[in-house]
Amino acid sequence: MLDPVSFEILKNSLISIAEEMGVILRRSSFSPNIKERRDFSCALFTASGQLVAQAEHIPVHLGAMPYSVQAVLKEFENDLSEGDDVILNDPYRGGTHLPDITMVSPIFFKERLVGFAANRAHHSDVGGVAPGSMSALARDVNQEGIRIPPIKLWAEDKPNRQLLDFVLTNVRTPDERLGDLRAQRAANLVGAKRLTELLKKSSVSSVESGMDQLIDYSEKLMVKRIRELPRKSSSAVDYLDDDGFGTTDIPVKVKITVGGESIGFDFSGSAKQVQGPLNAVYSVALSAVYYVVRCVTDPSIPANAGCFKPIEVKAPSRTIVNAEPPAPVAGGNVETSTRIVDVTLKGFSSIIPERVCAACQGTMNNVTIGGVDPRNGKYFTYYETIAGGFGARHNKDGVDGIHSHMTNTLNTPVEALESAYPLRVRRYELVRGSGGRGRFRGGLGIRRDTEVLAEGSTISLMGERQRRGPYGLFGGKSGSPGTYGIIRGNRITSLSSKTTISANSGDVLTVTTPGGGGYGTISGRSRGRVEQDRADGKA
């Protein structure tokens, strides 16, 4: 056992390594999606593949990444060497959806495997039927892009040229993909360097035992927090709008049981996997549950394998929360994961209401635009998730225009977007009155209008919360639903939340995102606050 001071130094050193990996990945990357939006995550693992430290990046990545590391260990077992970098994106072998490419690199010290550096980054195109690899019209996972099992992209520091050529030949933006893959490798190299520096200062045995101690520490803290919760059970249901192929009001159900030292989540009764791409693999469902548990217990507990040991999740196979091949899964990672969070928080609202917010916008509003850039004659693929309203809390209003829950990304700044792509932002503003009314008001949604400047472009949309707005709690009203449309001349045509269309130069895509739900009855809101809402343009 490390003494308390040494333990704190090791704990913070490991977290700092993961954070520095993220800085290197962001600064080295080529695509605005990684450099500007920061759609990536970084973590460190023990030699046995247990998560030991992570940076506070994307929740939907971090809960699932341990499954990628386990897939690498299973595939290569005793065939890993210093200088190896294994990539994979297969959702059914530890991935989330195909654009998320994970790179796992073993770390050796004095010829001994001491851990793994891993990162996951969203690439703005990995092939498939539509630019951006996020088509809402895909009927199976093979239409969503190239599917990569665990395979060495670098072996003992030598690139696998044949594999690299294969990947780059099957994507629309090969130069950008190569740059981002090299940035991912650079991040892992820095992670390995920093861990070996830590080992040189100490010893392998003390660092390894300290890692185990850190995992045990998180588990004990989580058990302590669970003991403080009421021993109750609660059930909840929420619905996805549709799968893009005619199936509507798709239920996601959960029963939460708080025991003495564990919490159980049973998703029995959730919809069977659907034809459209809203299916989530099991690792994505786990990510959503892990995130919620951290929110309602103690977010300061170090997030590692120990933190998640007291959490038990039952998700029946071949359902929308535990899909099996060949179900398409692009939206499971971005949309269904968000709905799992919503329904799980709704379940907790009757157990610990003061720790739960009303529903946030409940969608990532995925927008993908691809085509040929008239400025250089090269293919471009633009991907964005657009922020919306955050749900009100028991003691304060929701936040306006922010990414929430399973996405922790930023927006692409207008200057960066217009520089990198043949696009022009015509309008970008908060939507007045879109937050749900209540004692505490839900956050406002956003309207963003983007003009396409490339003839014959393809727009793919994948969103939710258009049939019903995000729910309020304890008498609070729902937030406003979202809407999508295309403006051609003076005419606006409504668009489905899951569609792929062709666009000409001059067409303007308009996206209005949902507002957050309210908390408590409106009668509890003071007249002064109501008048201030009107003065601020929020009512």
**530: pLDDT strictly greater than 90:** no
Percentage of the chain with pLDDT > 90?
Answer: 93
CB atoms within 10 A of CB 295: 18
Q: What distance in Å separates the CA atoms of residue 503 and residue 495, rounded to the nearest whole number?
A: 13
- End-to-end CA distance of the chain: give it in Å, rounded: 57
Band of residue 528 on the pLDDT scale cut at 50, 70, 90 = confident
CB 346 within 8 A of CB 296: no
Q: What distance in Å separates the CA atoms of residue 289 and residue 311, rounded to the nearest whole number?
A: 9
Which residues are bridge partners to 120 per DSSP?
41, 102
Q: What distance in Å separates the CA atoms of residue 34 and residue 176, rounded to the nearest whole number?
A: 11
pLDDT for position 534: 82
Segment 217-226 mean pLDDT = 97
Q: What distance in Å separates the CA atoms of residue 19 and residue 225, rounded to the nearest whole number?
A: 26
Segment 187-198 mean pLDDT = 98
* Helix or strand run (H / E) with residue 283: helix 282-296
Q: Look at residues 445, 457, 279, 429 and name the one whose alpha carbon lies nearest to residue 368.
A: 457
Residue 1, amino acid = M
**59: pLDDT strictly greater than 90:** no
Q: What is the pLDDT of residues 108-155, one digit of tens each?
A: 999 999 999 999 999 999 999 999 999 988 999 999 999 999 999 999
Q: What is the pLDDT of residues 378-426, one digit of tens each?
A: 999 999 999 999 999 999 999 999 999 998 899 999 999 999 999 999 9
What kind of architecture, by CATH, is found in domain 4-219? 2-Layer Sandwich (3.30)
What are the sequence ranges of the domains in the chain? 4-219, 357-539
Coil/strand/helix, residue 236: strand
CA atoms within a 13 Å half-sphere pointing along the CA-CB vector of 492:
8
Q: Pull the structure tokens for residue 419.
A: 């520089």
Q: What is the pLDDT of residues 321-364, one digit of tens each?
A: 999 999 999 999 999 999 999 999 999 999 999 999 999 999 99
pLDDT for position 1: 84
CB 195 within 8 A of CB 13: no
**536: pLDDT strictly greater than 80:** no
Q: What distance in Å separates the CA atoms of residue 135 and residue 460, rounded to the nearest whole number?
A: 6
371 torsion bin: left (phi>0), alpha (psi -120 to 50), beta (else): left
Q: What is the pLDDT of residues 64-101, one digit of tens each?
A: 899 999 999 999 988 999 999 999 999 999 899 999 99
CA-only gyration radius of the chain, Å:
23
pLDDT for position 425: 98
pLDDT for position 368: 97
CB 86 within 8 A of CB 68: no
CB 478 within 8 A of CB 436: yes
Q: Look at residues 454, 456, 459 and name the one whose alpha carbon lies nearest to residue 374.
A: 454
Band of residue 445 on the pLDDT scale cut at 50, 70, 90 = very high
Q: What is the pLDDT of residues 223-245, one digit of tens each?
A: 999 999 999 999 999 999 999 99
Question: pTM here?
Answer: 0.96
Q: What is the pLDDT of residues 1-11, one digit of tens each?
A: 899 999 999 99
CA atoms within a 13 Å half-sphere pointing along the CA-CB vector of 113:
18
**538: pLDDT strictly greater than 80:** no
pLDDT for position 56: 82
**539: pLDDT strictly greater than 90:** no
Q: What is the pLDDT of residues 315-328, one digit of tens each?
A: 999 999 999 999 99
